Chains A and B, each alone.
Chain A
Amino acid sequence: MTAQTKAPETKSGRQKAPSTRLARETIQRQPVETAVRRVVAADIGSVHTRVALYDLVEGQFRLVGRAQALTTAAPRGYDVSEGLRRALEELGAFSGLSFLSADREQRLLMGEEYGNTFIATASGGKPIRTILVGLMPNVSLESGKRALESTYIELVDTLDLLDVRTLEQQVNAILRATPDLILIVGGTDSGANAPVRALIDTVRIAVQLAPGAKPIVLYAGNAALASYVREQLDDHVVLYVTENVRPSLERESFDPIRLELALLYGDYRARTTPGFKTIQEASALGVLPSIESYSNIVRYLADSKKQNVLLVDVGSSTVTVCAMVRGALNVTIRSDLGLGHSAVSAAEAIGVRNIARWLSFEPAPNEIMDYVWNKTLRPATIPETSRELELEYALARELIRAVMQTSRQGWQGVPPSAPLPPMQPIIGVGSAIAQPINPAIGALLLLDALQPLGIVDLRLDPYGVMAAMGSLMHLEPLAVVQVLETGGLLNLATAICPSGKPRGNIALEARVTYADGHSREVRVPSNTLKVVPIPAGQKAQVSVKLGRGLRLNGKRRLTFQAQSSAAGLIFDTRGRPFMVPRELSRRAEILPKWFEAVQETD
Chain B
Amino acid sequence: MPYYPETTVILGSTRIIREYKLPPNAIGRAEVNNGSTVAPDTVLLAGAIPSEVIFLDAVKLLGLRSAAQITEEMLQVPVGEVYESGVPLLINGKGRRAKKVVTPRRARFASLEAGRVLLQTDPQPVEVRALMEGRINSVSENRVVLETGGALIQAAWGNGSANYGTLSFAKEETTREWLGLEDLEDSGQVVVVEESIQTSAVFKEAIQKRWRGIIAPSMSSALRNEARQLRIPVILTEGFGNLRYSAIVYNLLETNRGRFTTVDAVEPSVWRSERPEIIIPTGPSARLRLPETNVPVVAGATIRVTRLPHMGRTAKVLNLPESPVTVENGLRVAAAEVQFSDNSEIAFVPLANVELIGRPLDAPSRPQS
List the interface of chain A (C-beta within 8 A of B): 46, 67, 69-70, 72, 74-78, 82, 86, 89-90, 93, 125-126, 166-168, 171-172, 175, 178, 201, 205, 208-209, 211-213, 317, 340-341, 365-367, 369-371, 373-374, 376-386, 388-389, 436-438
Q: Interface readout for B262-282 with A: 1 if CB under 8 Å, 0 if not?
A: 000000101111110000000
Q: Which of A90, A171, A366, A374 has the most CB of B within 10 A?
A: A374
Q: Which residue of A lies closest to B55 (CB)?
A: A168
Q: How many A-B residue contacts, CB cutoff 8 Å?
A: 146
B308 at the interface (CB under 8 A from A): yes
Which residues of chain B have C-beta atoms less than 8 A from A380's C-beta? Answer: 6, 352
Enumerate B205-223 residues with CB–CB distance to A below 8 Å: 220-222
Question: Is B367 interfacial (CB 8 A cutoff)?
Answer: no
Contact B331 A377 (CB under 8 A): no
With the chains together, A167 CA to B53 CA distance in Å? Answer: 10
3 A-B pairs with the lowest CB-CB distances in the bound complex, closest first: A370-B241, A74-B273, A126-B271
Question: How far apart sit A74 and B239, CA to CA, in the bound complex (Å)?
Answer: 19
Residue pair B331, A437 in contact (C-beta under 8 Å): yes
Q: Does A381 contact B353, Cβ atoms closer than 8 Å?
A: yes
Q: Is the CB of A385 within 8 A of B308?
A: yes
Centre residue among A69, A89, A90, A383 by max chain B CB count within 10 A: A383
* B53 contacts A171, C-beta separation under 8 Å: yes
Contact of A209 among B118, B242, B272 (CB under 8 A): B118
Contact between A374 and B271 (Cβ–Cβ < 8 Å)?
A: no
Q: Is B306 an interface residue (CB 8 A)?
A: yes
The answer for the CA separation of A383 and B239 in the assembled complex, in Å, is: 15
- State whether A75 touches B268 (Cβ < 8 A): yes
With A74-B272, A76-B6, A383-B331 already in contact, the answer to whether A211 and B50 are too (CB < 8 A) is yes
Closest residue on chain A to residue B271 by CB atoms: A126
Residues of A within 8 A of B138 (CB): none
- A373 near B240 with CB under 8 A, answer yes
Name the segment of B129-137, B160-168, B322-330 touching the other chain.
B322-330
B350: Cβ under 8 A from any A Cβ: yes
Taking a contact as CB atoms closer than 8 A, the residue among B273, B294, B327 that contacts A82 in the complex is B294
A79 to B19, CA, bound (A): 17
- Give the residue name and chain of the A residue nearest to B114 (CB): A201
- 12 further interface pairs, Cβ-Cβ under 8 Å (given A209-B120, A212-B25): A70-B6, A75-B272, A77-B294, A90-B1, A125-B271, A317-B270, A377-B239, A380-B6, A381-B350, A382-B307, A382-B350, A384-B308
Give a binary string over B214-251; 1 marks a CB under 8 Å from any A CB, 0 the rest.
Answer: 00000011101000000000000001111000000000
**Cross-chain contact A67 with B221 (CB below 8 angstroms):** no
**Docked-complex contact B329 and A388, CB < 8 angstroms:** yes
A-B contacts, 13 of them at CB < 8 A, read A75-B273, A168-B53, A201-B114, A208-B110, A209-B120, A213-B24, A370-B242, A382-B331, A382-B352, A384-B308, A384-B309, A384-B328, A384-B350
Question: Does B203 belong to the interface (CB within 8 Å)?
Answer: no
On whether the beta carbons of A74 and B156 are closer than 8 Å, the reply is no
- Least Cβ distance of B80 to chain A in Å? 12
Task: Tell me which of B25, B114, B220, B222 contacts A178 (CB under 8 A).
Answer: B25
Complex interface: chain B residues within 8 A of A374 (CB):
156, 239-241
Chain B, range 84-114, C-beta contacts under 8 Å to A: 110-111, 113-114
**Which residues of B lie under 8 Å from residue A369 when comparing CB positions?**
221-222, 240
Chain A residues closer than 8 Å to B79, beta-carbon distance: none
Chain B residues near A438: list those with CB within 8 A. 330
Question: Given the complex of chains A and B, what is the CA–CA distance between A389 and B54 in angstroms?
Answer: 53
- Find out whether the CB atom of A341 lies under 8 angstroms from the CB atom of B25: no
Pick the contact of B307: A70, A201, A212, A388 (CB < 8 A).
A388
Residues of A within 8 A of B333 (CB): 382
Q: Which B positions have Cβ atoms within 8 angstroms of A? A: 1-6, 24-27, 50, 52-55, 110-111, 113-114, 118, 120, 156-157, 220-222, 224, 239-242, 268, 270-275, 293-294, 306-310, 327-333, 349-350, 352-353
Looking at the assembled complex, report how far the CB atom of A368 sits from the nearest CB atom of chain B, in whole angstroms.
9
User: How many Å from the CB of A567 to the closest CB on chain B?
Assistant: 15
**A residues near B310, Cβ cutoff 8 Å:** 384
Q: Which residues does chain A contribute within 8 Å of B222, judged by CB atoms?
A: 365-366, 369
Instruction: Assess whether B5 is in contact with A70, with CB atoms less than 8 Å apart.
Output: yes
**B4 x A74 contact (CB < 8 A):** no
CB-CB under 8 A from A205, the residues of chain B are: 113, 118
The answer on a CB contact under 8 Å between B221 and A211 is: no
By a CB distance below 8 angstroms, the chain A residues around B331 are 382-384, 389, 436-437
Cβ–Cβ contact B275 & A383, under 8 A: no
A373 touching B221 by the CB < 8 A rule? yes
Q: Does the CB pair A437–B329 fall under 8 Å?
A: yes
Q: Is the CB of B1 within 8 A of A377?
A: no
Q: Are B1 and A93 in contact (CB under 8 A)?
A: yes
In the bound assembly, the distance between CA atoms of A48 and B361 in angstroms comes to: 29
Contacting pair A376 B270 (CB below 8 A) = yes
Chain A residues lying within 8 Å of B242, measured Cβ to Cβ, are 370
The reply to whether A388 and B308 contact each other, CB–CB distance below 8 Å, is yes
Known: A212-B24, A212-B25, A437-B330. A384 touches B353 (CB 8 A): yes
User: When chains A and B are docked, how far (Å) is the Cα of A341 from the Cα of B269?
Assistant: 9
Give the nearest-CB partner of A174 in chain B: B53
Across-interface contacts of A437 in B (CB, < 8 A): 329-332
The residue in B2, B271, B308 that gathers the most chain A C-beta atoms within 10 A of its C-beta is B271
The answer to whether B4 and A86 touch across the interface, beta carbons within 8 angstroms, is: yes
Which residues does chain B contribute within 8 Å of A376, judged by CB atoms? 270
In the assembly, what is the distance between CA of A93 and CA of B308, in Å?
33
CA distance A86 to B295 in the complex (A): 11
A90 to nearest B CB, angstroms?
Answer: 4
Is the beta-carbon distance between B1 and A211 smaller than 8 angstroms? Answer: no
Q: Which residues of A contact B3 (CB under 8 A)?
A: 69
- In the complex, the chain A residue whose C-beta lies closest to that of B273 is A74
Residues of B within 8 A of A213 (CB): 24
Cα distance A379–B306 when bound, in Å?
A: 11
Whole-angstrom CA separation of A124 from B48 in the bound complex: 33
Bound-state CA distance A76–B5 (Å) is 9
- CB-based contact B350/A370 at 8 Å: no
Q: Which B residues are CB-close (under 8 A) to A74?
A: 271-273
Contact A209 B53 (CB under 8 A): yes
Q: Give the chain B neighbours of A379 by CB distance below 8 A.
A: 270
- Chain B residues contacting A388 (CB-CB under 8 Å) are 307-308, 329
Among A125, A373, A436, max chain B CB count under 10 A is at A373
Cβ–Cβ contact B25 & A384, under 8 A: no
Residues in chain B near residue A385, CB distance under 8 A: 308-309, 328-329
